[in-house]
Structure 1
Amino acid sequence: MSEISISIPSLSENIRIVESFIDNAKEKFELNDDIYGNIMIAVTESVNNAIIHGNEGNKDKNVFLTLNMENNSIVFNISDEGKGFDYNSLPDPTAPENIDKPGGRGIFLMKALSDELTFEDDGKKVKLSFYIN
């Protein structure tokens, strides 16, 4: 199966384009509601991170989103044009000193909702996999 991809300028209102992209995937691949819900939250969170942190809200920079079927997984790749980040030294959002901080939960959520989460290219690319069987 070929890859499906879109690219969007870094504006938070473009999240709705991502939501439509995921809605189309739900229909095309007949995803059940649980997987669909997890994908919706994890992928939009990842795109939001790419817009806000990766591209620093610069509308001249794009976020790229691709979808592939690999074996029994639906795989989303989200990449930005930012500087990347050190994903190994993120503060734990569940640690007592961080529990009241508004940020820092996105990657934690993405990890919890996806079956596999990997970072590539110095953190500029996120790969989210969801098992479907």
Structure 2
Amino acid sequence: MSKQIFRLSLNSTYKESEKVPDFVTEIQEKSQLEEDTTGDLMLLLSEAVTNAIVHGNKLDEKKKVEVEVKINSKQIISTVKDQGKGFNPEAANDPLKEENLLKDSGRGIFLIEEISDSVDYLDNGTTIQFSLNR
């Protein structure tokens, strides 16, 4: 299988985040992804895009979230970039700690790190890149 690249550009609104499922369905159809892999990709991209829109771009409709998914025979590498100020991933709330169990934040990063085979935070935290092995 040769490398395939898929891109999606979103405005920073909740409505725009609703484009992620159709985007992942398109990827599945064109890349013959297995259902489990497609489910993981859907969850990962949904969490990363929501974090970029809400926490990165602060729901500023003028700011964009850029999504890129590269697929080859061995991996799916996804990159989500926002136009925010960035963040320190080490400072994110650990949702498993008792004091954070009822907090709304921290779960997205936790899920991404748990499900992905690798995760990198780039550009001062404005970009997250994660991969799934095939």
* Same-fold status (TM-score > 0.5): yes
Does 1:119 pair with 2:121? yes
Query: Identity rate of aligned residues, in percent?
Result: 32
Deviation at 1:71, TM superposition (A): 5.4
Q: What residue is the counterpart of 1:87 in the other structure?
A: 89
Question: Does the 8 Å contact 2:6/2:27 carry over to 1?
Answer: no
In structure 2, stretches of 5+ residues that fail to align are none
SS state at 1:129 partner? strand
Deviation at 1:17, TM superposition (A): 1.4
Provide the TM-score with structure 1 as the length reference: 0.93
Indicate the larger mover: 15-24 or 42-51. 15-24
Provide the TM-score with structure 2 as the length reference: 0.93
* Deviation by residue 1:62-111 (Cα, 9 ceiling, x = unmatched): 00001112551011100000000011222211011111212211100111
RMSD across aligned positions (CA): 1.2
Question: Does the 8 Å contact 1:10/1:55 carry over to 2?
Answer: yes
Question: Does the 8 Å contact 2:4/2:72 carry over to 1?
Answer: no
Residue from 63, 80, 84 that aligns with 2:65: 63
Question: Does the 8 Å contact 2:121/2:129 carry over to 1?
Answer: yes
* Pairs within 5 Å for 1:3-42: 3-42=5-44
SS state at 2:19 partner? helix
Which 4+ stretches in 1 moved above 4 angstroms? none
In structure 1, stretches of 5+ residues that fail to align are none
Deviation at 1:131, TM superposition (A): 0.8
What amino acid maps onto 2:102 in structure 1? D
Indicate the larger mover: 53-62 or 97-106. 97-106
Q: What residue is the counterpart of 2:51 in the other structure?
A: 49
SS state at 1:3 partner? strand
